[in-house]
């Protein structure tokens, strides 16, 4: 018996939201149906593919195989029997070990959450996805949350009634990278969707009883469209009232079309201050009853801007006020420290000793223009995406 017959592997895609760090990853599609957004190069050269139901079920069977191997290793205190573990993985090649450790980690964290990959899983026709969800729940009845990415233009084509069917089959949450709610910004970044499509998608998802999580990208329209980016997104969010609004500060990477726009002078980078002002405008103008703002990525400058948009709005705006109360030099110092993951709040700067602070202040002062400083901060940000 060869290794593949003994230990069948399953597909694992390249990305998942930070909130799905301990989820099982089940790939039902590959790539992105659009693949033309100017800020993204993740799927360049990858042709979109919706996998057959039969092949996805084979992957679920492979996951069950590894779950049966992993369950006996997990001890009552949550630790792993390392001696037995070494014997179990000895017969696996590297790909099989990757599959095994993903399943082991999933089970160690409860075995209840699943994330469907890749970038636009909801492009899979409803009946096929329902079949997959039902089979997954049959194999693992303990699962209580199944999440997926979906592009807004695809999501807008699905009716509220179809979302009800998906929810009944087990789909509980959808993530969608809106990035912006401004038609000007959406056109500039070639998102391939309109604000009205975003609103229609969100309303249908909510009407279908599925949790909805949208992403806002401060700074993605550059300085020229900064205000439109924030106010347009606030309008869309207010129309939908999603369960989550997740901040994803833009990082303009080399080898993307947006970076080419920057090189050609068609995009002036937003400074960190500009991006924070966009978040401030969003918070001030979005009106939702139960929406949660989440800043759950290292790329965000002020990760403590989190809370319910209604009850915690003043608290979140207070965090922004605290940031803007800093001197120009201290804001640069904080930005530098944050981009090196050395601080999480403005108060953390107090932990710096005098000599270290002086050294870092000199680094901040050495960059003479705001434009050059914004470019330097953007370069640091690209390490995290």
Tokens 């369960």 correspond to 243
The answer to whether the beta carbons of residues 334 and 300 sit under 8 Å apart is no
Structural domain includes residue 150: yes
Beta bridge partner(s), residue 113: 145
Structural domain includes residue 338: no
Domain range for 138: 3-326
Q: How many domains does the structure of the chain reveal?
A: 1
> Residue 124 — pLDDT band, cuts 50, 70, 90?
confident
Give the mean model confidence (pLDDT) for residues 57-62: 98
The rounded distance, in Å, linking the Cα atoms of 4 and 8 is 5
Calculate the CA 166 to chain-centre distance.
22
Q: Which of 17, 13, 28 is CA-nearest to residue 135?
A: 28
Structural domain includes residue 374: no
Q: What are the pLDDT digits (tens) for 144-159?
A: 999 999 999 999 999 9
The rounded distance, in Å, linking the Cα atoms of 359 and 50 is 53
The rounded distance, in Å, linking the Cα atoms of 125 and 169 is 14
Going 38 to 381 to 367 to 369, the CA torsion angle's sign is positive
Q: Which of left, alpha, beta for 191 (phi over 0: left; psi -120 to 50: alpha)? A: alpha
Q: What are the pLDDT digits (tens) for 203-250?
A: 999 999 999 999 999 999 999 999 999 999 999 999 999 999 999 999
Structural domain includes residue 139: yes
The rounded distance, in Å, linking the Cα atoms of 45 and 28 is 19
Structural domain includes residue 352: no
CATH number at residue 99: 3.80.30.20
pTM of the predicted model, to two decimals? 0.94
> Residue 126 — pLDDT band, cuts 50, 70, 90?
confident
> Residue 3 — pLDDT band, cuts 50, 70, 90?
low
The answer to whether the beta carbons of residues 230 and 278 sit under 8 Å apart is yes
Q: Which of 111-125, 229-243, 276-290, 359-373 has the lowest mean pLDDT?
A: 111-125
Structural domain includes residue 136: yes
To the nearest whole percent, how much of the chain has pLDDT over 70? 99
Structural domain includes residue 239: yes
Structural domain includes residue 376: no
The rounded distance, in Å, linking the Cα atoms of 49 and 56 is 12
Pairing of strands 29-30, 49-50: antiparallel
């Amino acid at each position: 018996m060869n290794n593949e017959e003994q230990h069948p592997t399953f597909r694992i895609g390249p990305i998942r939201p930070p909130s799905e760090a301990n989820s099982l990853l089940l790939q039902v599609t590959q790539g992105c149906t659009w693949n033309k957004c100017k800020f993204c190069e993740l799927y360049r050269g990858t042709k979109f593919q919706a996998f057959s139901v039969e092949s996805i079920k084979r992957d679920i069977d492979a996951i069950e195989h590894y779950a049966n191997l992993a369950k006996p290793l997990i001890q009552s205190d949550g630790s792993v029997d390392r001696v037995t573990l070494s014997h179990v993985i000895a017969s696996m090649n590297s790909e099989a070990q990757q599959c095994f450790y993903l399943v082991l980690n999933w089970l160690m964290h409860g075995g209840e959450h699943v994330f469907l990959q890749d970038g636009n899983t909801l492009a899979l026709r409803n009946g096929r996805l329902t079949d997959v969800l039902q089979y997954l729940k049959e194999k693992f009845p303990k699962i209580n949350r199944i999440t997926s990415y979906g592009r807004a233009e695809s999501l807008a084509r699905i009716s509220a009634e179809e979302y009800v069917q998906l929810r009944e089959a087990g789909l509980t949450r959808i993530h969608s990278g809106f990035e912006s709610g401004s038609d000007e910004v959406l056109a500039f970044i070639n998102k391939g969707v309109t604000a009205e499509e975003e609103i229609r998608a969100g309303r249908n998802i909510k009407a279908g009883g599925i949790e909805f999580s949208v992403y806002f990208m401060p700074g993605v329209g550059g300085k020229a469209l900064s205000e439109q980016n924030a106010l347009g997104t606030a309008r869309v969010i207010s129309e939908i009232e999603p369960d989550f609004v997740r901040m994803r500060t833009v990082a303009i990477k080399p080898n993307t079309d947006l970076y080419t726009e920057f090189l050609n002078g068609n995009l002036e980078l937003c400074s960190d201050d500009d991006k924070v002002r966009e978040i401030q405008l969003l918070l001030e103008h979005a009106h939702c009853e139960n929406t949660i703002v989440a800043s759950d990525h290292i790329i965000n400058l002020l990760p403590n801007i989190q809370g319910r948009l209604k009850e915690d709005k003043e608290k979140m705006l207070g965090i922004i006020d605290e940031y803007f109360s800093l001197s120009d030099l201290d804001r640069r110092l904080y930005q530098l420290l944050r981009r090196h993951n050395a601080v999480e709040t403005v108060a953390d700067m107090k932990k710096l000793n005098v000599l270290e602070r002086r050294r870092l202040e000199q680094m901040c002062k050495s960059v003479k223009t705001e434009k050059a400083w914004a470019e330097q901060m953007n370069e640091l940000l690209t390490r995290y995406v």
